[in-house]
Structure 1
Amino acid sequence: MLFSRRSSDNETVVAMLASAIRRDISFGVLCPDEKLKIEALRQRYGGSNHSMRETLRMLVAEGMVEATNQRGFRVTSATEDDLADILMMRLEVEKLALERAIAHGGVDWEAQIVAAHHQMMRAENQLNQAPDDATALGWDEACRGYIMALVSACGSPRLIEMTGRFYDQSRRFRLARLREGRIDFDARRDRQEALKAAVMERDTKRALRLLEEDTQADLSG
Structure 2
Amino acid sequence: MLFGGRRSEDDTVVEMLASAIRRDISFGVLRPDQKLKITDLRQSYGGSNHSMRETLRILSSEGVVEATNQRGFRVTSATEDDLRDILLVRLEVEKLGLKRSLERGDVAWESRVIAALHAVSRADGQVQDNPDDVTALQWDEACRDLSMALISSSGSPRLSTMAAQFYGQSRRFRLALLREGRIDFAARAVRRAQLQDAVIARDETRALGVLEDDIGADLGA
TM-score above 0.5, yes or no: yes
CA offsets 1:141-162 (integer angstroms, 9 cap, x no match): 1100111111111100000011
SS of structure 1 residue aligned to 2:50: helix
Runs of 4+ that moved beyond 6 A: none
CA offsets 1:161-189 (integer angstroms, 9 cap, x no match): 11100000001011111111111100011
CA distance in 2, matches of 1:53, 1:18: 10
Per the TM alignment, residue 111 of structure 1 is displaced from its structure 2 partner at its CA by: 1.2
Aligned to 1:161: 161
Aligned to 1:44: 44
Per the TM alignment, residue 4 of structure 1 is displaced from its structure 2 partner at its CA by: 2.0
CA distance in 1, matches of 2:2, 2:60: 29
Amino acid aligned to 2:45: Y
**Deviating more after overlay: 144-153 vs 116-125:** 116-125
SS of structure 2 residue aligned to 1:182: coil
> Does 2:166 align with 1:174?
no
CA distance in 2, matches of 1:200, 1:210: 14
SS of structure 2 residue aligned to 1:71: coil
Aligned to 2:25: 25
CA distance in 2, matches of 1:16, 1:109: 31
CA offsets 1:108-160 (integer angstroms, 9 cap, x no match): 11111111111111111111111111111110111001111111111000000
What stretches of structure 2 of length at least 5 have no aligned partner? none
Amino acid aligned to 2:69: N
- Within a 5 Å distance, the mapping from 1:10-159 to structure 2 comes to 10-159=10-159
Amino acid aligned to 2:47: G
What stretches of structure 1 of length at least 5 have no aligned partner? none
CA distance in 1, matches of 2:165, 2:28: 18
Aligned to 1:184: 184
Amino acid aligned to 2:66: E
SS of structure 1 residue aligned to 2:154: coil
SS of structure 2 residue aligned to 1:2: coil
CA distance in 1, matches of 2:3, 2:108: 38
TM-score by length of 2: 0.97
CA distance in 2, matches of 1:11, 1:73: 21
CA distance in 2, matches of 1:118, 1:82: 31
TM-score by length of 1: 0.97
Aligned to 1:197: 197
SS of structure 2 residue aligned to 1:74: strand
Percent identity over paired residues: 66
Amino acid aligned to 1:33: D
